[in-house]
Structure 1
């Protein structure tokens, strides 16, 4: 849920950046009402501000969190905090990241995620 100063991280695999963006895309009906994206449905996220989201799909995968998070906002703080809770290497290679800033996700269950896995939330400021 939205919480100032926290960032939540998901990692996964997509065939392209377009596929990742489609996974994150909210659609609207003719009355202008937003429908949840596939990402929001999978993780039962009611609302988040997409202006505080970073998502990227890389050409090659990596198991190294520091490589995957290199260049993200607040990287000097975020990378050490996530490697502290997760370890430097993931048990599997991924090519995509999703970061929601000012958002502290609390696991709610729901359907089995198909594209991304939640790694955790850390306080970045």
Structure 2
């Protein structure tokens, strides 16, 4: 799933900031493998959290929130802004080309896009 210059984006709707943080919270097993509710739901064996960004706003997301993310100028034009309606959480993973489940529970995979550094 790792692929340079690709960004994968998920949108979600959570009751509050704590629920969103709990959903993303990483745990490690005896073999030092990482997992979270997010990775389990979407079948992601690993991603480098140093190349990810997440944001929550209780009032709901506006598409302009993408302006706050790294490299957004190179991919935001490809994102369907209408899909932000009713969502209050976003996860962005860089150098990651997700091709799996579309929607699980509170989260929906928005898509994967090219970006430039």
**TM bucket normalised to smaller:** 0.7 to 0.9
| Equivalent residue in structure 1 for 2:91, among 92, 98, 101 | 98
Aligned counterparts of 1:89 and 1:16: Cα–Cα separation in 2: 22
Aligned counterparts of 1:35 and 1:69: Cα–Cα separation in 2: 27
**1:14 positional shift:** 1.7
Any idea what the Cα deviations from partners look like across 1:45-78, whole Å, max 9, x if unmatched?
A: 011100001001013114x42x231211112112
| Equivalent residue in structure 2 for 1:78, among 72, 75, 82 | 75
Q: Which moved more, 1:36-45 or 1:91-100?
A: 91-100
| Equivalent residue in structure 1 for 2:112, among 102, 121, 124 | 121
Structure 1 unmatched ranges of 5 or more: none
**1:92 positional shift:** 3.6
**1:90 positional shift:** 1.9
Aligned counterparts of 2:27 and 2:100: Cα–Cα separation in 1: 24
Aligned counterparts of 1:98 and 1:108: Cα–Cα separation in 2: 15
Structure 2 unmatched ranges of 5 or more: none
Q: How many residue pairs were aligned?
A: 116
Alignment RMSD (CA, Å): 2.0
Greater C-alpha Rg: 1
The answer (yes or no) to whether the contact 1:68–1:97 under 8 Å persists in 2 is no
Aligned counterparts of 1:68 and 1:25: Cα–Cα separation in 2: 22
4+ residue stretches of structure 1 with deviation over 4 A? Answer: none
Any idea what the Cα deviations from partners look like across 1:3-43, whole Å, max 9, x if unmatched?
A: 111100000112333322211112134x4633521100110
Closer, same or farther in 2 for the Cα pair 1:45/1:72, shift >3 Å? same
Higher strand share: 1
Match of 2:58 in 1: 59
